[in-house]
Amino acid sequence: MHNDCPSHLGSSIKPECLIRPRTLYRGVGAELFHSHRDPMLVVTPQGKIVQVNTALLKAAGKSFAEVIGKGVCEIIHGGRWPHIKCPLEEFLLTRAYKVEDTRLPGLSGEYSLSIVPVEGGPKDQELILLTARKLTQDEVRKVDSIRTAQLAAIGELAAGVAHEVNNPINGIINFAQLLLDDCPKDSEQAMLLKRIVKEGERIASITYNLLSFARENENEQTLVDLNEVVMDSISLVEHQLNNDGIRIATDLFQPSCLIIGNHLQLMQVVLNMVSNSRFALNERWGKTASPEKAIHFSSIPVVIDGRNYFRLVVRDYGTGIPQGILEKLFDPFFTSKPAGQGSGLGLSISYGIVKNHQGILRVDSILKKYTDMIIEIPASEK
C-alpha cells in the first residue's frame, strides 16, 4: 500500500502518502478497512493497537478482544524480551513512513509490512496504519538472497579488520614476551607483562574467529555423513545435557546423509547450536522436569532450486527468539544473551562454516515456543 511513496522522506511525507483518520472508521472507508484481505492494524506511536481488520484476526488466530489494547510487537512478533528493544516499536516513535520485508511469527509468515502515519488527528491522538501483505515464494527467496549478500559483505569487512589487527597484536605479544624473559619472575613488571600477553592472545583469538566467519579458514573437505556429525556431537555433550534434565531426540534420515565437508568444522556448528539450545531450555524451564525440555535433531533430503540437499534441523522448546533480532543473529559480536554470558561470535562462525560448505544456515523461532536452527548443505554427487 502506497509503495510509490519514497521511504527516505521520514516525517516529511507527501500528502497523498498519508491516511486520514475519518477514512479508517467511518462509512465506506470503514467497510474497505475491514474487508481488506491483507492484515491491517491501527496503532499509536507507542505501539498500542487501537483497531484491526478481520484479515488480521484471522492471520493471528485471535479474537478482537485479545488484540485491542495490546502491544503491536506482542501480536505480530509474538512478543519480545525485556532487555532487548523491538526495532518496530522504536521506529513507530519516529512517526515516519516505511516499507520492509520481514517475518511476522504472530501472523505465521513472511510479509511486506507498510507503515503509514495517519494525518489530521490531534497531536495527542496520533495514529499509524500498518498493512501486512504476504510475500510470494519468489519474493521470499529474493529477501533471503539479499540477507545472504548483506552477511557476505559483513564477512568481508570482518576479514579486513581481522587482518589489520592481527599483525600488530602479534607484534605486541612477541615484544611483551621478550621483555618478560629478561625481567625477574616475581616482580610487578613481570605480572603486568603477563597480563599484556594474556589480553593480546585474547584479541588474537577474536581475530581468528572473525577470519572463520569470513570463510578464510578453509580446511580439507571429504565425504562426510551429516548423521555421524550429529551423533558424534551428541556423544560429547550427552552427560552434560542429562545433568540438566534435557532430553535428546533424533529422527535422522537413513541410511545416511552424505555431503562433501569437514567433519570437525560441522561438529563445531552443531555443538554451538546445542550450547545455545541448552541455555534457552535452562532459561525457560530451570530445574523443572518437562517433556518439552528437549533438543530434537532431524535430517531429511530436500530439493532446492533443482539441486539435492540434506536439511538438518536442531529444535529446542526453550525461550525462543524475538522476531526483531532474528536478522541480527549472525552478525559478529551480536548476542541475545544477557551481558557477560555470550561473545556474539558463535553463530557468526557457524554461518561462515556452513557457507564454506556451499550451504545455508537460517533460523526460525517463535518466542516462548520453539527455535529451529536449520542447516541445508548440498548432497554429495558421489
**Same domain (yes/no): 301, 341:** yes
Asked whether residue 291 is domain-assigned, the answer is yes
Asked whether residue 1 is domain-assigned, the answer is no
Residue 11 has what pLDDT? 36
**Same domain (yes/no): 203, 295:** no
Query: Which parts of 187-327 are beta strand (E)?
Result: 222-225, 247-252, 258-261, 294-304, 307-316
**Same domain (yes/no): 199, 96:** no
Full domain range(s) for residue 24? 7-135
Centroid of chain to Cα 152: 15
Q: Which three cell numbers stand for residue 359?
A: 550451504
**Same domain (yes/no): 226, 374:** yes
**Same domain (yes/no): 163, 91:** no
**Same domain (yes/no): 146, 130:** no
Nearest-angstrom CA–CA distance, 252 and 228: 10
> For the chain, what is the domain count?
3
Phi, psi (rounded to 5 degrees) for 171? -65, -45
- Last residue of one domain, picked from the residues 213, 243, 276: 213
Nearest-angstrom CA–CA distance, 290 and 219: 41
Residue 351 has what pLDDT? 85
pLDDT in tens, the chain (382 residues): 444 443 333 333 343 444 444 445 555 467 788 888 999 999 999 999 999 999 999 999 999 999 999 999 888 887 777 767 788 888 898 889 999 888 888 888 889 999 999 876 666 678 999 999 998 878 777 766 666 666 666 666 666 677 677 778 888 888 888 888 888 878 888 889 888 988 888 887 777 666 655 554 456 788 999 999 999 999 888 888 998 999 999 999 999 999 999 888 898 899 889 999 999 999 888 888 788 899 999 999 999 888 999 999 999 999 888 877 777 777 766 666 555 555 556 787 888 889 889 998 989 888 888 999 999 999 998 6
Nearest-angstrom CA–CA distance, 249 and 91: 41
Nearest-angstrom CA–CA distance, 162 and 209: 9
Nearest-angstrom CA–CA distance, 37 and 200: 59
- Last residue of one domain, picked from the residues 165, 193, 213: 213
Q: Are 40 and 53 contacting, i.e. CB atoms less than 8 angstroms apart? A: yes
Centroid of chain to Cα 332: 12
Q: Which three cell numbers stand for residue 60?
A: 493471528
Asked whether residue 203 is domain-assigned, the answer is yes
Q: Are 19 and 129 contacting, i.e. CB atoms less than 8 angstroms apart? A: yes
The pairing of beta strand 109-117 with beta strand 128-134: antiparallel
- Last residue of one domain, picked from the residues 135, 169, 198: 135
Q: Which three cell numbers stand for residue 25?
A: 472508521
Asked whether residue 2 is domain-assigned, the answer is no
Which helix or strand (DSSP H or E) is residue 285 part of?
helix 263-285
